Every structure is written in C-alpha cells, then in structure tokens.
Structure 1
Amino acid sequence: MYAHTELDGPAGTLRVSGHGMPTVELVRAPGTRPDAHTPIGTRSAALLTLTVDGEPAAIRPARGRLLRRSYRVDVRTGGVRHRLVPCGHQDSRFLRNGRRTGTLTSSGDGRVIDAWEPGATPLDIALGTALAAAFGTGAAPWFETVGEIVSGLIP
C-alpha cells in the first residue's frame, strides 16, 4: 500500500492519502511562525489540528528535549491509541495500542521510508506516515546529547 505525502512546512500543512487508506491531514494554526526544528513547524498541540477522513483526532506531541521518549507523538482516534517514538538515531517505531506496527524513517523533507509489520492496517500506514513526515524520526540518546552540550561549553 502506497501513501502519497504532501508536506508544506512553511505553510504548516500536511496531507497523506492513498488508494484504500484514510486521508490524514495535519494543519498548523494559520498565522503562526514555524519553528526551525519540526517539519510541520510546531510541537504545540494547541497549534495543531489533525483529521482522519475528515473526523477530528486528538494529537499530543511531546516537547522534544533530552530523552528520546520526549520526541514521541501520541494520537487518539476512534478509541485507538497510536504513538510514534524514536528507537534509534534515524528510526522511530509506530505503535497501535502499545504494539509495534511499523518502523519509519524521515529526515524532515516529507519523504518517509517505512517497514510495516504483518497486520498493519491502512489507518496505521496513513497515520504513521503522516506523523513521521510532520515531526521527523529518530533522536540521539540522552548521553550523546549531554556530551554535545558539555563539549560546547568547554573552550
């Protein structure tokens, strides 16, 4: 199943669609300035609107700080919990109700490389692709991040 992704980071819009899968749209609030680190332009849930086949869905991106887990993005739609969470420098896991359904890689340019587990649904594919494209994937481990901060402080 192929997901077509259209990301316009400066405008704050993302649309993922494909044959046999729901359309997922993520929009940043109009008039807001994008941050430089997030492809969709923000990690603030208050500035984001997510719809799945036209129906609103709850999205909660974490703040993205020191720990890999702080880069997670949680979505609730149709009574199902979905999560995108980094699992390596470049990759993130996509979970449905706590079970892995895929592994995704995206550098923030809107393109997503995916590997789906047997049993992944069209919703998993559309939503996972959308989250990976909107927020990017992967993160450095905390000790590497701390090391970079400390080395930047030493003259």
Structure 2
Amino acid sequence: MYAPAEDALFGTVEIELDHEGGTLRVGGGGLPSVGIRRSPGTPLKTRVPIGTRDPDRLTLLVDGVQETLRPAKGFLTRRSYRVEVVSAARRCRHVLVPDSLDTSRLLRDKRRLGVFTSAGDGKVTVTWDSTDGRPETGAEPYDASVGYALAAAFGTGAEPMWDLALEAALELWP
C-alpha cells in the first residue's frame, strides 16, 4: 500500500498497490475511482510497479467504466516509456511521458497539466501547472485520478537516451 498523497487541488488521494496480486486502486479527494488490474499468470517485471507493460495483460477501470490503456514497451528513449489512456466516453487522450530522470508530465490531448513524481517508494506527488502560484491547468478530477494511477502503476522518469542505449549495448556484450 502506498502512502496517501496530499494534492493541492484535490485533497487526500488514497493509493493502494499490490505488486504481487497485480492490482492498483486510486480514490479519495472527490476523485473518480481508478483501478488497474494485471491478468493472473502474467510474468512479473520488477522494474514496473504493476508488474508488466503488456497492454494485453492489463485492464483499466475509471468509475467502473473500462478505458483503453496503452503502455509503450520502454526501451531506448524516454518517450518509449510513455503510457496512454484513451477514453471513448470522455473523448480524450491522456499521456504520462517521462521528461527527466525522475519526473513525467501528464498531458490531456497534448496540453500539459502537471508533472508527477513516483520513485517506487510508495509516494506519488504532483505539481500542477500554474501561473503566479495559482493553479490554472484546468485539471479536472478525472485527470488527477488517471495521473496518480499511471504514476503509481508505471513509475515516473527515465534515463536519458544515451544512457539507455549504452545499457542496452552492454547487455549484448559477451
């Protein structure tokens, strides 16, 4: 179980992750509930908090409605670690994409809403985009729920491309 997050816009956000059982739940703070479930029997990847990046082995529900979840494979570029959620009901697309070693930005239909941080230590934080210290992102409860769920399930940040390429090359070295 992750520690609750105190969000400047939405209050206390409860985050529960069961890595072994393959479930994640986000709720509270007046947010819609979000659940991500890994299919039973899925081989676990220890670097991914939910255990896999295989979209065929993951289900996403937002307030009981199934949404499309598309985590990229995660290999040589930061962008390859992005995670997308497509909502047919809301007609929008959210993307959580790494923008530094530790952080990932949340976009709704290409508009940046905020920056999430989750180091895998059970905590998720967000800094909503603002002007003069006033939140003006237009972030809605749905955005926050999805952002927290993606950050907790997949982590945030990624190594720079040159480091990822070097690591991949070293793995191939005899």
Q: Secondary structure at the match of 2:106?
A: strand
What are the equivalent positions in structure 2 for 1:21-32 lying under 5 Å apart? 21-32=31-42
Tell me the secondary structure at the aligned position of residue 48 of structure 2. coil
Q: Which runs of 5 or more residues in structure 1 are unaligned?
A: none
CA RMSD of aligned residues (A): 1.7
8 Å CA contact retained: 2:79, 2:97: yes
Corresponding residue for residue 81 of structure 2? 71
Q: Which moved more, 1:140-149 or 1:94-103?
A: 140-149
Cα gap change, 1:144 to 1:23, in 2 (>3 Å): same
Structure 1 runs, 4 residues or longer, greater than 3 Å off: 147-155
Q: CA deviation at 1:102?
A: 1.0
Matched, 1:19 2:38: no
1:147 shift after superposition: 3.3
Partner of residue 60, structure 1: 70
Q: TM-score, normalised by structure 1?
A: 0.93
Q: TM-score, normalised by structure 2?
A: 0.83
Amino acid at match of 2:93: R
Q: Which residue of 2 aligns with 1:88?
A: 100
Q: Which residue number corresponds to residue 53 of structure 2? A: 43
**Superposed displacement of residue 148, structure 1:** 4.0
Residue of 124, 143, 146 corresponding to 1:112: 124
Q: Deviations over 1:25-61 (max 9, x none)?
A: 0000023232111100000000000000000000000
Contact 2:42 2:52 survives alignment (8 Å): no
Aligned residues: 155
Tell me by how many angstroms 1:109 deviates. 3.5
**Equivalent pair of 1:39/1:109 in contact (CA under 8 Å):** no
